[in-house]
Structure 1
Amino acid sequence: MADTGTSDGAAAVLDSLDHEPARTGSPLVRPLEMVAAALLVIIITLLLGGVTSRYVLSIPVVWIDEAASISFLWLAMLGAAIAIDRNEHLRLTLFVGMLPEKWRGPVHAFGLLVVATFLLVMTWPAIDYVIEESYVTTAALNIPASWRVSAIAFGIIAMLALVLSYAVRVCSFRDLVMAGLLIAAVAAICYLMTPVFKTLGYLNILIFLIGVVGFCLVAGIPIAFCFGMGALCFLAFSTSVPIFVMIGRMDEGMSSLILLSVPIFVLLGCVLDATGMGKAIVDFLASMLGHIRAGMSYVLLGSLFLVSGISGSKVSDMATVAPALFPEMKRRGYQPKELIALLSTGAAMAETVPPSIVLIVLGSVAGVSIAGLFTNGLVVATVLLLVLAILARWKARGEVLKGVRRAPLAVIGKTALIATPALVLPFLIRGAVGGGVATATEVSTIAVLYALIVGVVLYGGIGWRKFYGMLVETAALSGAILMILGTASAMAWALTQTGFARDLATLMTGLPGGWVTFMAVTIVVFMILGCVLEGLPAIVLMAPLMFPIAKSLGINDVHYSMVVVTAMNIGLMTPPIGIGFYIACKIGNVQPDEAMGAIWPYLLALIAGLLIIAYVPSFSTMFL
């Protein structure tokens, strides 16, 4: 799973979930890492300069956003290439892991060649797109727009080179030949059947946008390339639309200025982990609540609630909180499976706490106010927090409190003093964005600067080598996220062009029960998508379809967003498919089979909270 920044420990957790060996730091990719790290520093510097000139000097610099946008697209594409090298693109490995050992090699070779085929086919359209954009001049810098979009062509070529280089190194010649012949045969059959496909109408959605994508997902191909291959096949074999259009859709999906905050909040999560700011918050809550029954459960949930407001990352949140609390909770009689259930559902609860990357992406894709999402997301998370806390209190009725004492006031005061600089940060982020003082992008840069200064002065600092590693990790993870957004945007565009969105809207608005039934359908759809696709792909794919329908039924955008995000994250933590559940198991070192039985009461509690949120709109709209 790759939704936001991860620490080294969390990244190791992700690697351990995969059946493909990690491959980091190859000579081919090291120059890309250095350039990507430099670009991230340039983006932060530009945005900080823009904030300073606008709010301190009252002299807006008009070219800063344009320069940052150019740097951002290059960062995204270089990061996507680095993620290819590091094996950090999000993919579903559950089914590949079930295969007999003898089949994994051929399936691995097939997956790599599918990725290579997609990139190879997209190479010339990407170059053609650069040529077309060379005739366009940017408004502020007065340079050809090809300077920016050439990042897409370069990134595609770099990813193609890395995929082929890796495939040749690790796959047998026989497996590669067989996989290549299979792909060529399928492509030839589809090409010959093109006249037939063009007469099938909506059946092509089932064949290409569901069938091809679903098959690629099961084969363990990264989700970004599953979407890309589905959209490519759909356009190539069932329409007369040129493939060139896909590059423009991918560019649009990755280039929104709102998304500039994604890599910066990812970096913020890395800084949180490296400096120990998250652990300081955990220690403070433990000193306050650790002596009461279910107190450690409250600490765990409260820590996830607060820490997520700094990192915006479920993986980072769990990797920060679990090691600090699990030993003491086990000593008090908590079963490991119960800890995993609480950890995973607590992480799902915290997704609406800003600065959630999912909320930022949703705001960008669906045109929803980021300030409204950040402000009201806190209320929604609080509802879910209370539901989980009630269940945790009931579960803790047999907790062993022998020898547990209230922490002395001196200890509470000391931990509070240490945690205060860290506690200020989430409220700084929420207050500035929710109050309209600054945009999410501007606040993200201020938050990174604050965290770096506080981390260096109060929490032990970060070495240059460590900081460089964090920059590269941020670039890779951001590239993986943004590549999904790009290909999912292309697929969503292809889906809407068929007229399917219009007919779906007609069907949905005609359901008996009006908005009540539509909300129930939404919950089911996004819980299923959350299990299979994880948050970002599901949002980018479905938001263009579902949000207009919700609006036509009179559902507030922010209210609907909260239902969508919550349902999606419940799905993400739902076994046997939800990848978030397996990440929690890895972090807590508990076998999934053991934890699976314990998580259902917590999931039911979250669903109860979700129903409250869905059918009591005021919880999501009270601060609008």
Structure 2
Amino acid sequence: MRAGQRTLSSGQPVNGLLHGLDRVVDWVSQGVGGCLVAVEVILLFAGVVGRYMFDHPLVWTDEVAGILFLWLVSVGAVIALRRTEHMRMTVVLGRLGPRARRLAGCLAAILVVLVALCLIVPGLSYARQQAAVLTPVLQMPASWEVYGQLAALVLLLYVALRQLLSGANWIEIACVLIFSAVVWFALDRIENALDLGNADLPIYFVGVVGVCIFLGVPIAFSFATATFAYIHFTGTIPLSVVISQMDQGMSSIELLAVPMFIVLGLLLEMTGIARAMVNFLAALVGHRRGGLHYVLIAAMYLISGISGSKAADQAAVAPVLLPEMRRRGVPPGELAALLAASAAMSETIPPSLVLIIVGAVTGVSISALFTGGLLPAGLAAAGLAILVLFRTRTDRPEGAKANAREIGRLLMVALPALILPFIIRYAVLAGVTTATEVATVGVVYAVLIGLFVYRCFEWRRLFPILVETAALSGSILLIIGSASAMAWSLTQAGFAQTLTEMMTSLPGGRAGFLAVSVALFVVLGSVLEGLPAMVLFGPLLFPAAQQLGIHLVQYGIVAILAMGIGLFAPPFGVGFYQTCLIGKVSSDEAFGRIWPYLAVLVVALIIVAAVPWISTGFVA
């Protein structure tokens, strides 16, 4: 042993120990997360096979899948935090100087630590309470589910502490701690000195949430911070109630479709299914003026019906089309603008994750949303195609026209891929599978097609795909859990009734309500990335829409389209910057080119809002 290693003053042994712990945390979280995703696929597919093929339902599969699902969300949140992949707003953060960014990062890490502690400590008593509750089928103590989550939260706490200590020096940490203590003291004094009633709701759910989000704190932890602060300072409700509400928000079996469709979307690119579709479409119209623009729109429409994930859709299409479009001289900004607009257009194409989540949190039939979403997306796609026709009317056609024999060959190659969207939609609408299970059918189909038809299945990429699924699922569903707890707090405070009365009394009746809803969801979709806004406000606004006689399927489709426009609208829309990263295009180049496409989507949205039949005409 060298002399420098005999003392902790050098920091080397401590750093070595921490790096070793980091590797252990990575190994445990990624290993457990990847395995949980694989087990969930197997369980759900086994349930489909047992019920449909052997007429012998495996009644225990949903119960086990539900328990493992909450473990998966918790472990996925750890992986996402370790990779800094939790959803957050970075627009304001990117404009700050290096010192201010470090302080904001320090604040974010401290809040994550506090949220983890607020979940772990009350969670222990919550687990003891749940020990007396037995699951209906297997008679397992419900505490098993909670203890699995708590174990993951301990890992989350460690990761947050490591990011805090590695991302700032002691002076910066001290400054942020002092600032946090001042805010804590101020809130405590305000609540003790003044009887604000519901006037304190804006302090916590607008002020605290807004400051946290604009400073780059992950959205899930911003919501959780505001909820814990509100309950602590304004009432006597135990903090364990927050954990209970988060679990209830995430435990809907329909939400298990989220990781299933994410893994399916990632498999599309690996197995060559997406490439086969795009190559066939390119052979049909790629030689015309703006031909590849039409191919991109059509590919996003078709592939969105398979993967359910916008990021997966874009990642599957962009590497196939964008290089050839660049070669043909299409400006990079135009590529990113059309890709972003196409992703916003396809938000309502089943089996979109947003449709599933809207159905899960509002009680609207998911099958009805699947049926109602196709025509509005088709209207928006037609609008984008018309705009492309005008914008490319002076372009010179490029590329050789494929002959009938070549088109036929590519059709035969693409046929297994083209069948998949219809298999998925038929399985749900015919009642063969639930919306949760149908993705597992797609996963098995994609694996078989990749192995035996396209012979493009890289086994070494399978585990990273499972880990990526766990991370993305954790980041999405933790937002849903924290937003559910926040919505419960707002409901307990009477805000839901106040909001309903205010929205139903707007001038203009149904038209005024829809107009305000569209504006609200566009703004919230931009700031909160869509899903949190729907989880937070969907249960509050959908009853108001029903009171006014608005069909809930129409209202859901209108809200989703509005959120999609906000999500991909600069300067705040995170989806816009995500698209630029996927397309490897500077956001400055795309900023000025996306507005005509968004304008077309706004026109399509207004038509869908004004004509209910477009979204409800085929709903039984």
Same fold by TM (over 0.5)?
yes
Q: Distance in 2 between matches of 1:596 and 1:169?
A: 35
Which residue pairs with 1:161 in the alignment?
158
Is residue 60 of structure 2 the alignment partner of residue 60 of structure 1? no
Match of 1:491 among 486, 493, 499: 486
Aligned mates of 2:323, 2:382 — CA distance in 1:
24
CA–CA separation in structure 2 for the residues paired with 1:166 and 1:550: 44
Q: Which amino acid aligns with 1:132?
A: Q
Measure the CA separation in 1 of the matches of 2:585 and 2:312.
18
Distance change in 2, residues 1:587/1:45 (3 Å): closer
In the alignment, which of 119, 126, 131 is matched to residue 129 of structure 1? 126
Correspondence 1:336 to 2:329: no
Quote how far apart the aligned CAs of 1:153 are.
2.0
The one-character-per-residue Cα deviations of 1:442-461 (angstroms, maximum 9, x if unpaired) are 21111111111111112334
Residues in 1 aligned to 2:508 and 2:243: alpha-carbon distance in whole angstroms: 41
Aligned length: 600
* Equivalent residue number for residue 409 of structure 2: 414
Deviations 1:333-359 (A, max 9, x none): 432222222111011001111221111
Which range is displaced more, 504-513 or 280-289? 504-513
Q: 1:74 aligns with which of 71, 74, 89?
A: 71
What is the SS of the residue equivalent to 1:76?
Answer: helix
Alignment partner, residue 218 of structure 1 = 214
RMSD: 1.7
Matching of residue 114 in structure 1 with residue 108 in structure 2: no
Cα contact 1:114–1:183 (8 A) shared by 2:
no
Matched, 1:28 2:25: yes
- SS state of the match for residue 144, structure 1? coil
1:595 and 2:581 equivalent?
A: no
Report the counterpart of residue 13 of structure 1 in structure 2: none
Picking from 426, 432, 438, the partner of 2:433 is 438
Amino acid at match of 2:561: T
- 8 Å CA contact 2:341, 2:568 repeated in 1: yes
| Structure 1 range deviating more: 94-103 or 581-590 | 581-590
* TM-score (ref. length: structure 1): 0.93
SS in 2 for 1:593: helix
Deviation of residue 364 (structure 1)?
A: 0.3
In the alignment, the residues of structure 2 paired with residue 26 and residue 611 of structure 1 have an alpha-carbon distance, to the nearest angstrom, of 52
Give the stretch that moved more between structures: 389-398 or 120-129.
120-129
**Given residue 175 of structure 2, which amino acid in structure 1 is its aligned partner?**
M
Q: What is the distance in 1 between the residues matched to 2:532 and 2:585? A: 28
Give 1:567 shift: 0.2
Q: 1:479 aligns with which of 474, 482, 502?
A: 474
Structure 1 spans left out of the alignment, 5+ residues? 1-22
**Amino acid paired to 1:152:** Q
| 8 A contact 1:365–1:544 mirrored in 2 | yes
Alignment check: 8 A CA contact 1:126 1:152 kept: no
Residue 277 in 1 paired to residue 242 in 2? Answer: no
Out of 376, 385, 391, which is 1:389 matched to?
A: 385
Contact 2:102–2:167 (CA under 8 A) maintained in structure 1: no
Equivalent residues of 1:267, 1:448 under 8 A apart: yes
Other-structure match for 1:607: 602
SS for the counterpart of 1:441 is coil
Task: Map Cα deviations across residues 11-46 of structure 1 (whole Å, 9 max, x no partner).
Answer: xxxxxxxxxxxx997332211211222222221111
Partner residue of 1:318?
314
SS in 2 for 1:63: helix
1:463-542 to structure 2, matched below 5 A, reads: 463-542=458-537
2:299 corresponds to: 303
Q: Does 1:264 align with 2:289?
A: no
8 Å CA contact 2:130, 2:141 repeated in 1: yes
Over 3 Å counting, the alpha-carbon distance change for 1:64 and 1:589 in structure 2 is closer
Is the 2:348–2:377 Cα contact (8 Å) retained in structure 1? Answer: yes
Map Cα deviations across residues 222-263 of structure 1 (whole Å, 9 max, x no partner): 000000001111111122322121011100011001111111
1:447 counterpart = 2:405: no
The aligned counterpart of 2:12 is: none
Structure 1 equivalent of residue 17 of structure 2: none
Structure 1 residue matching 2:364: 3-state secondary structure = coil
CA deviation digits over 1:493-523, x for unaligned, max 9?
1111111111121121112211111000010
Would you identify which runs of 4 or more consecutive aligned residues in structure 1 move more than 4 Å? Answer: none
Q: Distance in 1 between matches of 2:431 and 2:611?
A: 26
Q: Secondary structure at the match of 2:437?
A: helix
Q: For the residues of structure 2 that align with 1:275 and 1:613, how far apart are their CA atoms?
A: 36
In the alignment, which residue of structure 1 is the partner of 2:15?
none
Distance 1:598 1:461 in 2: 36
**Alignment pair present for 1:584 and 2:582:** no
Separation (CA, whole Å) in 1 of partners of 2:479 and 2:217: 12
Q: Distance between the aligned counterparts of 1:162 and 1:569, measured in 2?
A: 32
Residue 46 in structure 1 maps to residue 67 in structure 2: no
- Map of 2:7 onto structure 1: none
Separation in 2, partners of 1:231, 1:357 = 26
In the TM superposition, residue 169 of structure 1 has moved relative to its aligned partner by 2.7
Check whether the contact 1:24–1:86 (CA below 8 A) recurs between aligned residues. no
Residue in structure 1 matched with residue 144 of structure 2 by the alignment: 147
* TM-score (normalizing by structure 2): 0.94
> Which piece of structure 1 moves more, 314-323 or 303-312?
314-323
Amino acid aligned to 1:443: V
- CA distance in 1 between counterparts of 2:48 and 2:78 reads 30
Which of 91, 96, 101 is the matching residue for 1:99?
A: 96
Which residue of structure 1 aligns with residue 5 of structure 2?
A: none
Give 1:462's match in structure 2, choosing from 454, 457, 469. 457
SS of the residue 2:197 aligns to: coil
- Cα distance change, pair 44–330 in 1 and its aligned pair in 2 (3 A): closer
- Structure 1 distance, partners of 2:173, 2:457, is 44
Q: Matches of 1:566 and 1:478 in 2, distance apart?
A: 22
Whole-angstrom distance in 1 between the partners of 2:323 and 2:81: 36
Q: Deviations over 1:409-459 (max 9, x none)?
A: 222112111211111111111121123332111211111111111111123
Unaligned segments of structure 2, at least 5 residues: 1-19
Mapped partners of 2:22, 2:115: distance in 1: 24
Where does residue 288 of structure 1 map in the other structure?
A: 284
Letter in 2 for 1:201: G
**C-alpha separation in 1, matches of 2:21 and 2:570:** 30
1:144 maps to a residue whose letter is P
- Cα shift at 1:331: 4.1
Provide, for residues 380-432 of structure 1, a one-character-per-residue CA deviation record: whole Å limited to 9, x for no partner. Answer: 1101111111111111111111x533211222112111211111111111121
Contact 1:371 1:436 in 2 (8 A): no
Superposed displacement of residue 285, structure 1: 0.3
1:142-221 pair list within 5 angstroms: 142-196=139-193, 199-221=195-217
- Spell out, residue by residue over 1:174-233, the C-alpha distance to the aligned partner (whole angstroms, 9 max, x if none): 222222222223223322332245x21232111001110000001111000000001111
Q: 2:552 aligns with which of 557, 560, 570?
A: 557
Q: Cα 1:461–1:591, aligned 2, differ >3 Å: closer, same or farther? A: closer
Secondary structure of the structure 2 residue equivalent to 1:26: helix
The answer to whether the 8 Å contact 2:309/2:352 transfers is: yes
What SS does structure 2 have at the residue aligned with 1:440? Answer: coil
